[in-house]
Amino acid sequence: MRHIEIDEYVMDVLLPDLAGHDRAPNAFLIYLVIWARLFRGGERRAALSLRQLAENSGLSKSAVQKAVARLHRRGLVVIHKASATAVPEYELPRHWLRRRANAWKRSAARPTMPQ
């Protein structure tokens, strides 16, 4: 059995934020289903129908729709559709990586004070 790597940010920030603050544990569950699909496929986008997300999460299709809408509203998932009836492709922008990289660049660019 293969293990799936998950960024610490997902567990330390998104889990308590979505499940606790937003009271939307279904959104976190759908996020993990998409994450696993992307990790296993090694791709940037994953084409998943609502039915597939429902089957993989154990949620109803209506619960999946609400969860996907919340993730999209929060900017945690980008949805690409070729047409109105096409199966959506989901992308997970990992904005915390850009923030971390920018913070590192800023700290590296600061001159150090002589001691």
Q: Which residues contact 31 (CB under 8 A, 6 or more apart)?
A: 10, 14, 18, 71, 76, 77, 92
Domain annotation covers residue 3: no
Residue 94 has what pLDDT?
Answer: 86
**pLDDT reported for residue 82:** 93
pLDDT in tens, the chain (115 residues): 788 888 888 999 989 989 888 899 999 999 999 999 999 888 899 999 999 999 999 999 999 999 999 999 999 999 999 999 999 999 999 877 765 555 555 566 665 555 5
In degrees and rounded to multiples of 5, residue 57 shows phi and psi of: -105, -20
Is 30 a domain residue?
A: yes
CATH code: domain of residue 39: 1.10.10.10
Query: What residue numbers bound the domain in which 25 lies?
Result: 8-109
pTM tops 0.85: no
User: Does residue 2 fall inside a structural domain?
Assistant: no
Domain count for the chain, please give it.
1
- 5, 9, 33, 37 from 96: Cα distances, Å: 16, 7, 19, 20
Report the pLDDT value the prediction gives residue 74, as an integer from 0 to 100.
Answer: 93
CA dihedral 51, 3, 94, 90 (to 10 degrees): -20
77 Cβ contact partners less than 8 Å away, ≥ 6 residues apart:
31, 34, 68, 71, 90, 91, 92, 93
Instruction: Please report whether residue 44 resides in a domain.
Output: yes
Distance set, CA 37 to CA 48, 64, 114 (Å)? 9, 16, 50
Is position 26 within any domain? yes
**Structure token pair of residue 6:** 């998950």
How is residue 85 written in tokens?
């009836």
